């Protein structure tokens, strides 16, 4: 067990959106930590609160969204205690982000090199133009893009190349924490595999921490050492990726549903078992456990009470089935 300070600490964080019908809770009482040189995956269906949480870490909540409780610490620094000037220096130097729409975030009227140099001019004003130019070429080398593309415009590049450049820009100032929000969305599977392999290689070499966000359970469980599973704004399970198997019965029912929905192409008969129903509307969340309308193991207690995360077999699970005081209400669970 490491005694080092975590790179990221999310402490009892809740986030709400102000709407015409009142505040809508998008994230509720989330606790999560990332250590140095680690990859933690955050998985959940669309609307589960993953991107909202990521934006909160970067202090990029906008409009009607606001942090209603909790603390977010990066390298021990409370992100929400920083002044605007301090926050500007903190971003990209200490924490950076690869956004969900990464393939469209590049400025279409600036060359790749101009956009990289702009990062250095903004955050490393002491760096000369020559140094910034050389560093930009080194970043292209790092993500295996030919240096001749330094003078290319985004529309002249493939989707995979644009994605690599966005990742290179996120790593330009060598931050301790990199948040990757659906970084391989809209890429074909071959390019996706190449990008993921490169992410793993860069992380191993540079030892930064990654919070990797995706709706693809199989992708995240392969990349990350630890996986946090989110449903309706709450964490329902946090476990080591190696322990996330159908052979292990100690899982949240939602986790089991996600695993059963993964096709096993090596099997003789490929069978995909989807999760019935749809994710809940955050404006009208079910009482008790938000997953109970879709859960095959739900009991009356699930409709009454919200479960809390508890340690079960080396992982954290928020499910009444694993509460010794409530287990008697699940007569059908062995």
pTM metric for this prediction: 0.92
Least-confidence region, from 74-88, 180-194, 281-295: 180-194
3-state secondary structure the chain: CCCCCCCEEEEEEEEEEEECCEEEEEEEEEEEEECCCCEEEEECCCCCCHHHHHHHHCCCCCCCEEEEEEEEEECCEEHHHCCHHHHHHHECCCEEEECCCHHHCCCCCCCHHHHHHHHHHHHCCCCCHHHHHHHHHHHHHHCCCCHHHHHCCHHHCCHHHHHHHHHHHHCCCCCCEEEEECCCCCCCHHHHHHHHHHHHHHHHHHCCEEEEEECCHHHHHHHCCEEEEEECCEEEEEEEHHHCCCCCCCCCHHHHHHHHCCCCCCCCCCCCCCCCCCCCCHHHCCCCCCCHHHCCCCCHHHHHCCCCCEEECCEEECCHHHCCCCHHHCCCCC
Give the residue among 80, 33, 36, 12 at the shortest CA–CA distance from 177.
Answer: 36
Q: Is a pLDDT exceeding 50 seen at residue 334?
A: no
Q: How confident is the model at residue 265 (pLDDT cuts 50, 70, 90)?
A: low
**What are the tens digits of pLDDT across the range 147-180?**
999 999 999 999 899 999 999 999 999 999 999 9
Residue with tokens 């130019």: 133
Query: What is the structure's pLDDT at 137?
Result: 96
Query: What is the structure's pLDDT at 111?
Result: 96
**What are the tens digits of pLDDT across the range 200-218?**
999 999 999 999 999 888 8
Give the residue among 79, 321, 68, 324 at the shortest CA–CA distance from 177.
Answer: 79
Kindly state the tokens that stand for 191.
Answer: 């390019």
Q: Is a pLDDT exceeding 90 seen at residue 313?
A: no
């Amino acid at each position: 067990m490491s005694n080092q300070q975590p790179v990221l600490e999310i402490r009892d964080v809740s986030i709400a959106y102000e709407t015409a019908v009142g505040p809508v809770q998008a994230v509720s009482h989330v606790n999560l930590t990332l250590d140095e040189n680690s990859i933690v995956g955050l998985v959940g269906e669309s609307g589960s609160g993953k991107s909202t949480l990521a934006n909160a870490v970067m202090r990029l909540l906008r409009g009607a969204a606001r942090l209603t409780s909790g603390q977010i610490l990066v390298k021990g620094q409370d992100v929400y205690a920083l002044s605007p000037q301090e926050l500007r220096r903190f971003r990209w130097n200490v924490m950076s982000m690869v956004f969900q729409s990464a393939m469209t975030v590049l400025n279409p009227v600036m060359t790749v090199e101009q956009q990289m140099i702009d990062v250095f001019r903004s955050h490393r004003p002491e760096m000369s133009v020559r140094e910034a130019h050389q560093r930009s070429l080194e970043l292209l080398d790092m993500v295996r893009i030919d240096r001749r593309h330094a003078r290319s415009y985004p529309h002249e590049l493939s989707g995979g190349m644009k994605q690599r450049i966005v990742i290179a820009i996120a790593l330009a100032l060598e931050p301790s924490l990199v948040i990757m929000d659906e970084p391989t969305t809209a890429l074909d599977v071959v390019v996706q595999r190449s990008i993921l392999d490169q992410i793993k290689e860069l992380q191993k070499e540079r030892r930064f921490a990654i919070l990797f966000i995706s709706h693809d359970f199989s992708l995240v469980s392969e990349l990350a050492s630890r996986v946090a599973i989110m449903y309706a704004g709450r964490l329902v399970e946090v476990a080591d990726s190696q322990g996330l198997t159908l052979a292990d019965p100690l899982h949240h029912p939602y986790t089991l549903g996600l695993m059963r929905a993964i096709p096993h192409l090596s099997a003789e008969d490929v069978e995909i078992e989807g999760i019935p129903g749809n994710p809940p509307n955050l404006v009208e969340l079910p009482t008790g456990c938000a997953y109970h309308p879709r859960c095959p193991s739900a009991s009356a207690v699930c409709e009454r009470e919200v479960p809390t995360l508890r340690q079960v077999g080396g992982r954290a699970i928020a499910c009444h089935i694993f509460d010794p005081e409530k287990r008697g209400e699940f007569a059908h669970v062995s």
